[in-house]
Structure 1
Amino acid sequence: MPLSVELLSESTLRDAIGLLARAVEGAGALIIFVGAVWASGQFVMAGARGRGAGFNRIRLSLGRFLVLGLEFQLAGDVLRTAVAPGFAEIGQLAAIAAIRTALNYFLGREIAQERAELDQKGIEAAARPSTQRHAVS
């Protein structure tokens, strides 16, 4: 007769992991919310200063918040399937992971592209003689 020791029942483990998943998803939602509030504040301040040039930098920063928040959301989904997942849960995770991975990929690609454009503009601005820089700014 094999001796087995059960530290936590499956239902207790499910409840604990469910709580952890909600905490991780909540952190992801909070990150996205903070990023949106920050970007909104930066956008309003840039508009009040009359500088529309900061728009791309604001978008770039907001994109970083979105990517990080989506990673936390995906981590929460992975946690949910940690204890004896059925085929339905695995299918849902696969669909959610595919959608979020695609979002992350395209957001990351757009962030990299915008960063390269901003860096190129910075290089071009630095290469101009100082009299032209003051006229353009």
Structure 2
Amino acid sequence: MPSFNEIAEFVGLLFDCLGVVVIVLGTLLAAGRLVILNRRAGDGYRQFRQDIGRGILLGLEFLVAADIIRTVAVTPTLEGVLVLGLIVLIRTVLSTALQVELEGRWPWQRASEGADRPRETH
């Protein structure tokens, strides 16, 4: 019977693979969408970049989850936690930068803009 550490390591590896697959599939789907829709050069390129960015963002979430599972469940040493913190920090900065690139605003602006708008009544 496998130990908890072996199961956690396997689950971490599974999440790593899933993250890579999501990024690759996201890129392939974005390319397929670009070819099929055959948009104008400017709009197609922008949409292509946004689609790829969404795939990368989702893939990064799985990769961060894999790092957390492996570091906390398998090797909970101070060095491992510090490395995890650095990895999560780098990936969070990448995710935030991608989200700003995709949406054209900071993630926290979305919530405050919705709260400032008056509600429509019918």
TM-score, structure 1 as length reference: 0.67
State the identity as a percent.
28
Matches within 5 A, 1:34-49: 34-45=25-36, 49=38
The corresponding residue for 1:125 is none
AA aligned to 2:50 is L
Structure 1 residues 67, 50: CA separation in 2 closer, same or farther (over 3 Å shift)? Answer: closer
1:87 aligns with 2:108: no
Cα offset, 1:25, TM superposition: 1.2
Measured in 1, the distance between the counterparts of 2:34 and 2:83 equals 37
Unaligned runs of 5+ in 2: 106-122
Is 1:57 aligned to residue 81 of structure 2? no
Equivalence for 1:77 = 67
**Cross-structure match for 2:91:** 100
User: Alignment partner of 1:85: what SS?
Assistant: coil
Q: Which structure has the bigger radius of gyration?
A: 1
CA distance in 2, matches of 1:18, 1:59: 33
Alignment partner of 1:32 is 2:23:
yes
CA shift for structure 1 position 51:
2.2
Unaligned runs of 5+ in 1: 1-7, 115-137
TM-score by length of 2: 0.75
